[in-house]
Amino acid sequence: MLGVLQAYDAGSLVVRHSDSTLHQIHSGAVSAAKRIPPMPLRPVDVQQLFLTTALGRPAVETSYVGQWLLRASEGWTGRANSLLPAGDPEMPVSEALKRAEAFYTERGLPPLALVRLESPEAAEFGQLGWVDARPQQGDVLVLHTTLDLVNAAPGYKVTVSDKPDAAWYEAAFEGTPPAAAPAVMEGAPKAAFASVELDGKVVAVGRGAMTGHWLGVDAVRVDPAYRRRGLGTAVLQGLARWSGQLGGRRSYLEVVEDNVPALTTYTSLGYAVAYRYRYLTNQPPS
């Protein structure tokens, strides 16, 4: 039995398998035991993960320049309104970027590209005059881990549903959600919406999306009055357990490098940096 030791006493021990199921083993059946360190994270295919993140949170409208993905969602969020330069544009990069610019101009949106740092595309875009669209913001980190490290039993009751209700949206946003939010949040083929209720109201929420064996986690938000209680961790663990039962094996999420509290929480759960990205534009910020 390969898994994580969940609990033990004089009579038995409980091992948590990677699919989140628990297996009780009588102590008499154990002939030997030793402590082993956590399994190191396997190397991640960065290019594959780059594409997986786009599938986990699809935009309202998509188009292609060769294999490059153009996304538009009425201006709500950078991810849902930016070019994803993954694969072969099947034309000179300069021409592909002109087509991308036309796509966004037609929709009244600024040309924006989500570009992995230290990638060939980052260098090519820079040579063609594209610059940092958000110089005041730190890098966005894409983190990854194995579900074995995060699918432990949550410290709170986590409700996971396949559709978000009004209470979920109220907790996820300050004020009225943007018009494009439901289409973006609910557009993935296999998504789940987690929530924790305390004192008669939803105080913590998060969203999960399955793409192959990957669980993408986003939209984690905790009511300011209930922070520092481990609610964000509970939401993530609830989504991990949902994913594990569906064949999930690995997880990714994104966090701005400046968000130290969130980054501390995620790294404590075993997440590590897969790559960094920034948004580039051909219209320098004023």
Are 269 and 145 within 8 A, CB to CB? yes
pLDDT of residue 215: 98
Got the DSSP string for the chain?
--SEEEEE-SSEEEEE-TTS-EEEEEGGG-------PPPPPPPP-HHHHHHHHHHHS--SEEEEETTEEEEESTT-SSGGGSBB--S--SS-HHHHHHHHHHHHHHTT----EEEETTSHHHHHHHHTT-EES-TTS-PEEEEEEEGGGT-SPPSS--EEESS--HHHHHHHSSSSPPTTHHHHHT-SSSEEEEEEEETTEEEEEEEEEEETTEEEEEEEEE-GGG-SSSHHHHHHHHHHHHHHTTT--EEEEEEETT-HHHHHHHHHTT-EEEEEEEEEESS---
pLDDT of residue 156: 97
The 10s digit of each residue's pLDDT in 199-224 is 999 999 999 999 999 999 999 999 99
pLDDT of residue 7: 66
pLDDT of residue 43: 81
Count how many residues are written for the chain.
Answer: 286
pLDDT of residue 151: 86
**Overall pTM surpassing 0.75 (yes/no):** yes
Cα dihedral 28/31/37/38 (nearest 10): -60
Category of 106 on φ-ψ map: left (φ > 0), alpha (ψ -120 to 50) or beta: alpha
Kindly report the backbone phi and psi dihedral angles of residue 81, in degrees, each rounded to the nearest multiple of 5, phi listed first.
Answer: -140, 40
pLDDT of residue 214: 97
pLDDT of residue 87: 94
Give the residue ranges of the chain where pLDDT is below 50: none
pLDDT of residue 37: 60
Side-chain half-sphere CA neighbours of 102 within 13 A: 9
Scanning the structure block, which residue is given the tokens 């154990």? 30
Q: Report the alpha-carbon distance of residue 64 to residue 69 in Å, rounded.
A: 5
Scanning the structure block, which residue is given the tokens 């320098």? 284
pLDDT of residue 2: 60
- For strands 250-256 and 214-222, give the pairing: parallel
Side-chain half-sphere CA neighbours of 72 within 13 A: 18
